[in-house]
């Protein structure tokens, strides 16, 4: 299985494809499933700002579109604008939808250029589920 550093590197590559012409805030993500498959995503903005899509949700959407049936175990997030680029609330809720369990890991680039790891439980306590 792919390791955290590789996952973060893939998120960094995906960040190169970000379409962030309005905010100039470039984000890439790489979502890893327990099948061993991974999917990339980048943020995609729109002139009608509120329609912009986050990198993480694009990565998870790609998984669904590709027919992924596994569960989300990790997601790496990279922004060329800042280290420790935390996922927004909407993306956290999306992660909860596809996560294997609340120990699912969110991997960020930390200050020392290593990985900072959080669990979904830490970032979305008492999340909504049906
Ligand atoms: N963005 C992401 O891609 N992921 C997040 O979790 C937070 C924000 C994007 C959306 C928008 O294109 C830009 O960052 C600035 O908000």
How many angstroms separate the alpha carbon of residue 58 from the centre of ligand 1?
11
Ligand 1: residue whose CA is nearest its atom 10:
54
C-beta of 87 in contact with ligand 1 (< 6 A): yes
Q: Verify whether residue 56 is a known catalytic residue.
A: yes
H or E stretch covering 42: strand 38-42
pTM: 0.97
* Residue 75 neighbours by CB distance under 10 Å: 30
- pLDDT digit string, tens, across residues 44-99: 999 999 999 999 999 999 999 999 999 999 999 999 999 999 999 999 999 999 99
Question: Which 8-state DSSP code applies to residue 115?
Answer: E
How many angstroms separate the alpha carbon of residue 25 from the centre of ligand 1?
7
Contact criterion met (CB below 8 Å) for 46 and 72 = no
d(CA 46, CA 19): 9
C-beta of 52 in contact with ligand 1 (< 6 A): yes
Nearest to 103 by CA among 74, 69, 127, 129: 74
């Amino acid at each position: 299985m792919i390791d955290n550093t590789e996952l973060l590197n893939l998120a960094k590559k995906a960040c190169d494809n970000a379409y962030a012409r309005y905010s100039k805030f470039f984000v890439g993500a790489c979502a890893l499933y327990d099948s061993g498959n991974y999917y990339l995503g980048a943020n995609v903005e729109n002139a009608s700002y509120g329609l912009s899509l986050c990198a993480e949700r694009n990565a998870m959407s790609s998984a669904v579109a590709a027919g992924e049936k596994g569960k989300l175990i990790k997601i790496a997030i990279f922004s060329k604008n800042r280290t420790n680029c935390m996922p927004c609330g909407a993306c956290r809720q999306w992660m909860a939808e596809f996560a294997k369990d609340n120990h699912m890991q969110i991997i960020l680039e930390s200050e020392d250029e290593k990985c900072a790891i959080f669990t979904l439980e830490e970032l979305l306590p008492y999340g909504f589920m049906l």
